[in-house]
Amino acid sequence: MSETSDIRTPAQIEADIKRRRETLAETLDEIGVRVHPKTVVGDAKAKVVASVDNTLGRAYVGANRLVSDVKGQLVTEDGAPRLERIVPVALVVVGLMGLLTVGSRRRKG
């Protein structure tokens, strides 16, 4: 390289300064938007909504799996009820409801 290729003209220097100012102005504008309170609140809301959606999705999948497991225990593959399993479960549920009813009557009386 020759020494003349390293020398810039005043016009080249001014153009470079102008380009750098424009880049700096864009960067500052972007920073201003990112730290603006509405942007910060919007980003926080979006994170919360995404977290809630994720949690609800996992809860739905878990509940769906539980229902499928219980159904698999109480119904045969062809859809017929398994009375040998349903009757004991029903008796336990009725017994628990009776205990809760008796317990609530004792507290009121």
The vertex-68 CA angle with 66 and 70, nearest 5°, equals 70
* pLDDT for 6: 80
The CA-atom distances, in angstroms, between 70 and each of 35, 44, 46, 58, 60 are 51, 39, 36, 18, 15
74: number of Cβ within 10 Å? 13
- Write out pLDDT tens, residues 37-70: 999 999 999 999 999 999 999 999 999 999 999 8
Distance set, CA 16 to CA 2, 8, 9, 41, 103 (Å): 21, 10, 11, 37, 84
pLDDT greater than 50 at residue 79: yes
User: Pick the residue with more confidence: 109 or 62?
Assistant: 62
| DSSP-assigned letter for residue 36 | S
pTM value > 0.75: no
Read off the pLDDT of residues 1-29 as tens digits, 9 standing for 90 and up: 455 568 999 999 999 999 999 999 999 99
Query: Quick one: pLDDT at residue 1?
Result: 45
106 band by pLDDT with thresholds 50, 70 and 90: confident
